[in-house]
A and B are shown apart, each in its own frame.
Chain A
């Protein structure tokens, strides 16, 4: 591994943050001006949203199942096993649904974006696109950004529903709890602030997945090895940022809603 001086290392980080900020700013700015690549946006929505549906449904469902099993063991000790629904619903809607969906979609799509754009970069297709009069950020990044933010929002709702459903199934079949009571406690425990918190998080996660995936893809150098490196970096960076931003948003929401 090549060693660099601390000064050069710091400069690289500042330059990377600057590049990333410029890319993100231009990707957002393009939403408000022509030309808009609507067909590309729908294609990405299909690829990112519909394509991620199985993984999100399965992850949400089994997370809800495990949550119900684990919660029941602890709650039983306090004679509060009937609160399983509340715990599952609150955990899924506020935290696990948004975060796990973000991480799953990140693993699937941030890597996909980085490898696709990275391959285009090393084969000069990005330069060719510019030479043919097309802004690659407008054509490639903005549709992915819009599609990811939009679809992740709905994928999170689906994940929340599947998680709660999975928890209910375990509660009824394995724990012998009352089904309607499970849903009643789950429903009564959720307030507006919880829903808002759970639905704000995927907006940030979607932004992170698309911009990080595209950023690493567009700065790829060094042939196929570079593409592999960019893909790995995109998944690592987006996953860490999703969890970091989750923490910050949670803190903010607690400040706003008091819970």
Chain B
């Protein structure tokens, strides 16, 4: 895997109030059609942290990411991103905030009528970045996900794994301060899943971007916690001596509530019977 270029790795600085978390949920609840999806959720994600969100399907994990991006509003509670409360923010102000957030959707959500290049450059085109510069940055982002050859293809011509990689390229092209991954390995075979996780590890270790990642595969979650990206070999490798990545932490959901919020070591040494059963 080639090394990422410095441009991709560089992240623009965003002014945050002192002591503020990148993502902070305070007593957030939301429901749809009398079905309570999230109940009184509170947690913080600090700068540079990778927070893995685990839990059974239908537990409100995707809803949580949409809340974090301001795509939906909570029924109660407060959500702050980069220290700014989303409550009462106008749609236009949220759009400005989203310029610092990249999101990888569950089913990629690529625009079918646009080529890979136009999909990846979508945000740059919206910002009226010069065509030549936009093209260079697209090539750079596609090189990061090893898909330069697919630049002229349309999404329906790509495999599921390739679509997911294009989606990652689209999320990182604006050099965001926060990346939200909604099941980036969902529905993929184990080999392709490992490729995607390797990209997530690479993004984490090269640019140190704060991220929230949903996954249903415990194996992927623990790969993230136990591996690091080696710039010398251009590959992901296990952290020596069984050490764990300090920036990777876990959040486990069940029936709309947080049942675990802590480090990898705390999770693996938990005495909670439900968590133990879930992990097994």
Residues of chain A whose beta carbon lies under 8 Å from any beta carbon of chain B: 35, 119-120, 123-125, 127-135
Contacts of A125 in B (CB 8 A): 109-112
Q: Is the interface of B mostly helix, strand, loop or mixed?
A: mixed
Q: Which of B23-31, B95-103, B188-196, B259-267 lies at the interface?
A: B95-103
Interface residues of B (CB under 8 A from A): 66, 69, 71, 91, 95-96, 98-99, 101, 103, 105-107, 109-112, 122-123, 126, 170
- Contact (Cβ within 8 A) A123 B109: yes
Q: Across the interface, do A132 and B122 meet the contact criterion of CB distance under 8 Å? A: yes
Say how far B71's CB is from chain A's closest CB, in angstroms: 5
B122 with A127: CB separation less than 8 A: no
Of A35, A128, A133, A134, which contacts B109 at CB under 8 A? A128
Q: Out of A119, A123, A127, A134, which one reaches B71, CB within 8 Å?
A: A127
* A133:B98 contact, CB within 8 angstroms: yes
Residue in contact with A124 in the complex, picked from B91, B98, B105, B126, CB distance below 8 Å: B105
Asked whether, in the complex, the Cβ of A127 is within 8 Å of the Cβ of B98, the reply is no
Which of B91, B98, B110, B112 is A131 in contact with, Cβ under 8 Å?
B98
Are B126 and A134 within 8 A (Cβ)? yes
B69 near A131 with CB under 8 A, answer: yes
Q: Is the CB of B105 within 8 A of A133?
A: no
On chain B, the residues within 8 Å of A129 by CB distance are: 111
Q: Which residues of A contact B109 (CB under 8 A)?
A: 123-125, 127-128
Least CB distance, B43 to chain A, in whole angstroms: 21
Contact (Cβ within 8 A) A132 B126: yes
CA distance A125 to B71 in the complex (A): 12
Complex contact A128–B103 (CB within 8 A): yes
A119, A124, A130: the one contacting B106 at CB < 8 Å is A124
B129 to chain A, nearest CB (A): 13
Contacts of A119 in B (CB 8 A): 112
